[in-house]
Amino acid sequence: MLSEGIELGATLGKPFFWFQQKASKWPLLIYACRLGILIDHKVLVLSIKGRKTGKEYKVPMWYVRLEQDTENVYCLSRRGSSSQWVKNISADPVVSLKIGRVSLLAKASIIRKSDEVGRFLGFFQRKYGTMGRLLLDRTRIELVSFRIIDGGRI
């Protein structure tokens, strides 16, 4: 059992985080095999441009889409503003999203209103259940809205 104040990462070290980072990329393999439709109700693929390299990066993301709001897709960053994908969208907010077989062009914006973040945290926890409650650290979360541009299909 870990005592308070000691983070799990400090105990497990770099090999654990390397494994965790690699293991979190499995949805990219599913999408690459054109089987994204099997997981598109839970996972989308965000394509962003690196702010330093200009290279395209693909990031699997949990998302929420509200029935009454068809123009936006919402994602949470577990690592807050220190997350690389959040830094990249701050530099260039135009991104593409792949949900199943559909590719959409979107513009990202970070939502910082605490009441909105709290509201969406509830949506994520309902959609993703226990995993959502375990993985989402409330102190570091960054909520990002992806607004679909002009019908959005690429």
For residue 99, what are the β-bridge partners? 102
Question: What is the model's pTM?
Answer: 0.77
- In a domain, residue 2? The reply is no
**What is the per-residue pLDDT for 106?**
96
CATH number of 111's domain: 2.30.110.10
What are the strands, taking DSSP E only, across 22-93? 43-49, 56-62, 72-77
**What is the per-residue pLDDT for 145?**
95
**What is the per-residue pLDDT for 5?**
42
**What is the per-residue pLDDT for 14?**
61
- In a domain, residue 98? The reply is yes
- In a domain, residue 3? The reply is no
**What is the per-residue pLDDT for 20?**
58
How many C-beta atoms lie closer than 10 Å to residue 95's C-beta? Answer: 21
**What is the per-residue pLDDT for 9?**
46
Token pair of 68, please? 């009454």
**What is the per-residue pLDDT for 15?**
62
**What is the per-residue pLDDT for 82?**
85
Instruction: Tell me how many domains the chain contains.
Output: 1
- In a domain, residue 63? The reply is yes
- In a domain, residue 41? The reply is yes
What averages of pLDDT result for each successive group of 10 residues across the chain (154 residues)? 43 56 75 84 94 95 88 89 92 95 95 89 87 67 91 65
- In a domain, residue 142? The reply is yes
- In a domain, residue 43? The reply is yes
Token pair of 128, please? 């993703």
- In a domain, residue 77? The reply is yes
Find the length of the chain.
154
Query: Quick one: CA dihedral 88, 89, 94, 96, positive or negative?
Result: positive
* Per-residue DSSP letter, 38: G
Query: Quick one: CA dihedral 12, 14, 15, 17, positive or negative?
Result: positive
**What is the per-residue pLDDT for 22?**
61
**What is the per-residue pLDDT for 30?**
84
| Domain that includes residue 98, residue range | 8-153
